[in-house]
Amino acid sequence: MTEMLDSRKHIGSITGGGLKENLHVRLEVPPQEVQEGSFIVISSRDWIFYGIATDLQLQALDLRYALEPSRSRLPENLAGLLERQTLFTNLVVLPSLMLEQEPSDPQALSAWRKAIEAHEREEPRPQPVKSIPTHHADAFLASAGDVAEIFGKPGEEGNFVIGFTREQNHPVCVNLDKLIQRSSGIFGATGSGKSFLTRMLLAGLIDRNRASVLVYDMHNEYGLDDTASDTGENVRGLRSAFGAARVQVVGVGASAAIRGSMPDFNLVLGYRDILPEDVELLSQELNLKETTPTVLEALVQTFGRDKWFQAFKEMRRGALVEGEDGKKVPAPDSVAFWANQHGVNLMAAEGLHDKLRRLFNRPYIIENPPSDSIQAVMEALKKGKHIVLSFGGFESDLDYLLISNLLTRRIRAEWEKLTNQFRGGKGTEPRPLVIVVEEAHKLLNREMAAQTTFSTIAREMRKYYVTLLVIDQRPSQIYDEVMSQLGTRVCGWLGDEDDIHAALSGLAGREALRGMLARLQPKEEALLLGWGVPMPILVRSRRYDNFFWKDIKASRKSGLDQEQVIKRLYPD
Amino acid sequence: MEKFVIGRLLRSNTRQCVVGCPPSQPFPPFGSLVVIPLEEDQAAYGLISDIHIDDDGLVRQLVTTPAVTEAVIQDNRQNRNVPVEMTVLFVGSRSGGKISHLLPPRPPLSLDVMHLCGEHDLMEFTASGQFAYLRHIFEAQDAPATDLLAAHLLQAGRAHQAHGRPDWLEQACARVITMLRSDYDRLLPVLETLADAQRELAQAAGERMEKRP
């Protein structure tokens, strides 16, 4: 602890504040030496308080000292002396954690240690702030030891260096075990480095191998090597880095090629895979009418859940034949014929058929796929492989919504089944799974959230070993109920006030953090927030380059077996 | 300890005293640090905050005379019975060799002798403690506090500078700012006066350098 104190940089002392209005530190160093977002440590008697700098304010003992420059009336040295005593900077610190310090007196320290060993008192650990430091308590910029004390030591099991503190470059870790225990989010405007942050976190998750990862890679960014749009440099993909034995790229469509490279296998849907609920989820995208559920219900009633799609696809729209009386009547294989036979509104049925033509024509939906590729994806995930589902040329919202929903629905059902079997004593514990959802607002917006499987996963699938990693540039478009379930949030720069508000929803001290989020560097800076991190902290994100991959390779691999991993992740 | 007798005490109270000396004798300048030995090993320190020369009947007549000869003027100054009066503002005391910036425990008595402090005493008194004695200047009711402060700091600063402590004056100014910083209207004129004193000191230092062979 003494070493830690020595390595801290003293910046000032507490002059006021409170838990609600934050703490006020009078700076004794030039304001430029402390920036918004700095990790601040306050030593007050037996306690250390940890917080984050949220504001810097120029203040004067008397306003006239600030308004009338003393250098015009006094020589340089006297003016300097006067300014040092009358003009100052007030640093506002949002306190987050407090930690009891070990006594400095050797005798007291010995007694203190004995009490801990005898379980008469608890080993001190950081706890949410419940009190405040005293007046004139010393404030410091955190040392590397402080950062490690709170965010974990870089080499330790489960810790992943996501970035560095802004001023002093101390490594900041995210605990990957905690990250995947609940759903998480990565937010940031376009160009704020979201994709790089995601790549790094995914690399960390895959490397630690705590859970299987399924990435819905709408823009084909994560699996194979890519070229950075701004620097033109090569960006290593996850499969390229980890090899096909650990990461498999799945392409949508039978002859999918991802930027000229062949995927490990292809995802092709059979007609029987498409269920009415999959179509209903596309209501907005396909502009379906409110009569759609009724028509779909009639189709299922007529042809069954497995065959309705094929049957409906094969019907002809507007086909007529000559009747016995010589008049034109609907052909037996027409939509109108079926509608008339089953008492379905003709206009509604034909309208739905017209609109579903976009689905009928998708090349990745065929009558008899050579294998059940959805099952293959799930089997790979169960075996501990990681899947990057690249949409290849199928980058439209329709493709993304349909495939991701359909696949997630199946996964949810499978993992629920596995969990229930396990709890019934009939199977092994399911492998934890993280589903990575890009452009999450398309699936988790207010209208869709109630219907999609994703919101269910965000809300309750933790119990079934499945969590989400949501990636989006418009968090305000994501349904509040889903946002409130996100444990860890990694926020890059957000320009829109509503997005900032949404990214901070449900967090303590959000008013203080709001300005900080708005003033992040447009690139390579992120604010870590939420349940998965001990306290909010601003980091300069790590660079996704060769050094990153060297570090990943050099990092200590997990020595835990699958059972131990699960016990650690889900102790209850 | 080099001490020069200036005069004897006329009257005193806890905060200040008045000392008289014959007009024929050279008397110390405004702002000088003086010491008045008390009983046993005690002494009172003060700053000359006012120098007062009273008139008498003869002077009143002489000023109306059209031509006063030099002999008359010298006679009046050498042989006059009315003393030069110096008001001394107490700023500290000494007891058993220890300097304190508190007021003397009791005022000196009539006809006690007052000495002018030499450079050594001046430096010893002003370097002791954290300039707490300066508050007596600011609290003085009748003294011209700003000028008294400037005169004192100039003399003490000169002594410290001559003995290798050029930073003393800056420390004293910092302390003055600390004492008065919550009173903007008072502090700024004080600092402007101190700026003048500083300039004089710098000028004097420059002249000394020039005179060196």
Nearest to B92 by CA among B156, B29, B162, B147: B156
For residue B27, the enclosing domain spans 3-211
pLDDT score of B1: 47
Of A322-331, A382-391, B31-40, B172-181, minimum mean pLDDT range: A322-331
Residue A563 has pLDDT above 60, yes or no: no
pLDDT digits (tens, 9 = 90+) for A260-294: 778 888 899 999 999 998 898 888 888 888 999 99
The token duo for A337 is 């014929």
pLDDT score of A558: 46
pLDDT digits (tens, 9 = 90+) for B117-171: 999 999 999 999 999 999 999 999 888 999 999 999 999 999 999 999 989 999 9
Q: How far apart are CA A163 and CA A538, in angstroms?
A: 9
Angle, vertex CA A370, rays to CA A373 and CA A253, nearest 5? 60
pLDDT digits (tens, 9 = 90+) for A63-79: 999 998 888 889 999 99
Instruction: Compute the nearest-CA separation of A73 from chain B (Å).
Output: 7
**A2 falls in which pLDDT band (50, 70, 90)?**
very low
pLDDT digits (tens, 9 = 90+) for A456-509: 887 777 788 899 999 999 999 998 888 888 889 999 998 889 999 999 887 877
User: For A63, which residue in chain B has the nearest alpha carbon?
Assistant: B184
Angle, vertex CA A530, rays to CA A10 and CA A210, nearest 5? 110
pLDDT score of A59: 95
Interface of A with B (CB under 8 A): 61-62, 64-65, 70, 73-75, 77-78, 81-82, 85-86
Residues of chain B under the 70 pLDDT cut: 1-3, 208-209, 212-213
pLDDT score of A274: 92
Q: Which residues of B touch A73 (CB under 8 A)?
A: 188, 191-192
Cβ <8 Å between B173 and A65: no
Residue A565 has pLDDT above 90, yes or no: no
Cβ <8 Å between A74 and B174: no
Cβ <8 Å between B184 and A82: no
pLDDT digits (tens, 9 = 90+) for A174-215: 999 888 888 899 999 888 888 889 999 999 999 888 899 999
pLDDT score of A482: 84
pLDDT score of A7: 80
Q: How far apart are CA A247 and CA A243, in angstroms?
A: 6
pLDDT digits (tens, 9 = 90+) for A347-379: 999 999 999 999 998 999 998 888 889 999 999
pLDDT score of A556: 47
Q: Are B114 and B8 in contact (CB under 8 A)?
A: yes
Q: Which residues of B touch A81 (CB under 8 A)?
A: 170, 173-174, 177
Instruction: Compute the nearest-CA separation of A557 from chain B (Å).
Output: 60
**Residue that is written with structure tokens 């895959």 in the block:** A206
Residue A6 has pLDDT above 70, yes or no: no
CA distance to A14, A73, A259, B175, per residue, from B115 (Å) = 48, 38, 100, 27
User: For B174, which residue in chain A has the nearest alpha carbon?
Assistant: A81
Which has the higher per-residue pLDDT, A313 or A105?
Answer: A313
Cβ <8 Å between B170 and A81: yes
Residue A166 has pLDDT above 70, yes or no: yes
pLDDT digits (tens, 9 = 90+) for A208-240: 888 999 999 988 888 888 777 667 778 888 998
Interacting residues of A66 by C-beta distance below 8 A, sequence separation 6+? A58, A60, A87
In the 8-state DSSP scheme, what is residue A475?
G
Architecture of domain A173-268+369-545: 3-Layer(aba) Sandwich (3.40)
The total of other beta-carbon atoms located within 10 Å of residue A229's CB is 9
**A559 falls in which pLDDT band (50, 70, 90)?**
very low
Tally of domains within chain B:
1
Q: Of B177, B188, B199, which has the smallest distance from its Cβ to A73's Cβ?
A: B188
Q: Are B93 and B42 in contact (CB under 8 A)?
A: yes
